[in-house]
């Protein structure tokens, strides 16, 4: 019984071709998966928020045409009632007392933990206050000389990503 190989050889060749094609597809899928994993880990590390320097200029100000006697309150306020930053930011506040000689003192004061800041300026003085915003929350700041009007709040938000 002589076997007819005329069909066996083409079948074997096409079988080998299919096997090679399957191996090639599997390899390319593995490569794609590895590539994707790599991209994911790179994207993740790039997207982690690192603190930035946030710089502000803060002045004493006053409410126009405010009758202090009638209201029984000082007319003094801060130029910024809110300072909003992200946790991890490095904060730089340039604080100015714009009073003429003989005018009032003004302070920038936060006693809420963990921030502990109390800077008082004489008329015409300015200073730079720096600190790291390492704790989220809402922290009132106020001038120890002008309550209840001269106050604001530092808002430290969670990192955006
Ligand atoms: Cu003040």
pLDDT tens for the chain, 161 residues long, are 555 656 555 555 565 555 556 555 555 656 655 555 554 444 555 789 999 999 999 999 999 999 999 999 999 999 999 999 999 999 999 999 999 999 999 999 999 999 999 999 999 999 999 999 999 999 999 999 999 999 999 999 999 99
Whole-number Å distance, alpha carbon 150 to ligand 1 midpoint, is 6
- E strands of 26-105, at which residues? 53-62, 76-78, 82-86, 90-96
What is the CA(57)–ligand 1 centre distance, in A?
15
Residues whose CB is under 5 A from ligand 1 (ion)? 76, 106, 143, 145-146, 150
CATH architecture of 53-157: Sandwich (2.60)
| 140 C-alpha to ligand 1 centroid (Å) | 14
Q: Which helix (H) or strand (E) holds 139?
A: strand 137-142
For strand 90-96 and strand 53-62, is the pairing parallel, antiparallel, or unpaired? parallel
pLDDT, residue 47, reads 83
Q: What is the pTM of this model?
A: 0.71
């Amino acid at each position: 019984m002589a076997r007819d190989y005329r069909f066996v050889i083409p079948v074997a060749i096409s079988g080998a071709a299919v096997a090679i094609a399957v191996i090639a597809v599997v390899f390319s899928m593995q490569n794609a998966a590895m590539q994707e994993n790599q991209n994911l880990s790179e994207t993740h590390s790039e997207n982690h928020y690192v603190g930035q320097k946030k710089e502000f200029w803060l002045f004493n100000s006053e409410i126009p045409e405010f009758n202090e006697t009638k209201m029984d309150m000082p007319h003094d306020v801060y130029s910024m009632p809110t300072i909003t930053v992200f946790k991890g930011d490095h904060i730089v506040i340039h604080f100015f007392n714009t009073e003429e000689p003989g005018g009032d003192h003004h302070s920038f004061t936060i006693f809420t933990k963990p921030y502990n800041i109390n800077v008082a300026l004489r008329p015409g003085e300015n200073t730079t206050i720096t600190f790291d915003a390492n704790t989220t929350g809402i922290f009132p700041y106020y001038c120890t000389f002008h309550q209840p009007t001269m106050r604001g709040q530092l808002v430290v938000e969670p990192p955006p990503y």
